[in-house]
């Protein structure tokens, strides 16, 4: 009962707010302990996943236990300077990622159909 009253007292959240943060522009040499020190100040962290491939290096996903902790971290750490780099902290939106992947897949299918039927060539 007290928990419900506390959550109502915090107010309504925008629809894009969730527990998963996408962090970009991280220094390549940042350690997991440093990440937990920086993001752990705002609440309990369930998981931090750092990118290791060449195209994902410098990015990480931070998953908080509570949505309000994620909101506080996003508000306070966006633009925070870490080792000479300013962090970009966003809410992870899986719909945008899958929409972009679906678009690329549709474009590939369209090119295959064009080549199969000889449509869209040079005039």
Domains in the chain: boundaries = 17-92, 94-123
CB 59 within 8 A of CB 51: yes
pLDDT reported for residue 64: 95
pLDDT reported for residue 104: 78
State in Å, rounded, how far the first CA of the chain is from the last one: 72
Residue carrying structure tokens 């300077």: 81
pLDDT reported for residue 123: 46
For the question of whether the overall pTM of this predicted structure is more than 0.85, the answer is: no
Can you read off the two tokens belonging to residue 43?
Answer: 């609440």
- CA dist., res. 79 & res. 26, Å (int): 11
DSSP, collapsed to helix, strand or coil, labels residue 43 as: coil
Can you read off the two tokens belonging to residue 94?
Answer: 């899986």
Residues of the chain with pLDDT below 70 are 1-10, 13-16, 96-101, 121-123
**Which residues have a Cβ under 8 Å from the Cβ of 37 and sit 6 or more positions away?**
none
Domain 17-92, CATH class in plain words:
alpha beta
CB 32 within 8 A of CB 14: no
């Amino acid at each position: 009962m007290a928990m419900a009253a506390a959550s109502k007292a915090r107010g309504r959240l925008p629809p894009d707010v969730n527990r998963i943060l996408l962090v970009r522009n991280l220094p390549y040499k940042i350690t997991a302990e440093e990440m937990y020190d920086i993001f752990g100040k705002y609440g309990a962290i369930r998981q931090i996943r750092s990118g290791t491939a060449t195209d994902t290096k410098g990015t990480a996903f931070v998953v908080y236990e509570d949505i309000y902790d994620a909101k506080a971290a996003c508000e306070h750490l966006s633009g925070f300077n870490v080792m000479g780099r300013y962090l970009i902290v966003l809410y992870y939106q899986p719909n945008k990622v899958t929409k972009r992947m679906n678009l690329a897949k549709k474009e590939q299918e369209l090119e295959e159909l064009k080549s199969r039927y000889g449509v869209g060539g040079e005039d």
